[in-house]
Amino acid sequence: MRLSLRGEYALRAMLVLGLNFGDKVVSIQNISRHQNIPKRFLEQILNDLKSAGIVQSKRGVAGGYRLARPPEEVTLASVVRHIEGALAPVSCVSQHFYEKCSCPDESRCPIRSVMKEVREAIVQIAERVTVAELCERWRRLQEEPLKAFDFSI
């Protein structure tokens, strides 16, 4: 699985919404500014997440977005699947987006066998990690001191 820019931006927007859960809605401008995401692209992503029931919106001057459910109930897998599609590296091992592959014998394909293990590892992590955990990791990482770059030649 390779996360596209759209998928990365979706997760970064979910981080901001998770950090602000329980507060009022968060404006697109704030999400855009805090995560350096182009506003128009962010609008498309948030509308897509809204259609999936992952976020809710409020119109108007004081409008914006919020999580539709508590951050503990939103997994990274649900967000990525909605934005990207399959979590699997190849379609012949996908559980939700399966497509037959072109190898002669799918059941005996060693590449498929390895890719199935890769998919299982990705799914195990993506299903376990929630927006709440993503927020907790962000908080922990903010406490770490900045590391200076070493530019030795």
46-93: per-residue pLDDT in tens? 999 999 999 999 998 888 999 999 999 999 999 999 999 888 877 778
Compute the 3-state secondary structure of the chain and give helix, strand, coil in percent, each to the nearest 5. 55, 5, 35
Assign domain 5-138 one CATH number from 2.60.450.10, 1.10.10.10, 3.90.550.10, 1.20.1250.20: 1.10.10.10
Q: Residue 83: which H helix or E strand, with range? A: helix 76-84
105-149: per-residue pLDDT in tens? 878 888 888 888 888 998 999 999 999 999 999 999 988 777 766
- The token duo for 7 is 């998928």
Show Cβ contacts of residue 103 under 8 Å, excluding neighbours closer than 6 positions: 92, 109, 111, 112
The mean pLDDT of 4-13, rounded to a whole number, is 96
Q: Where in the chain are the domains?
A: 5-138
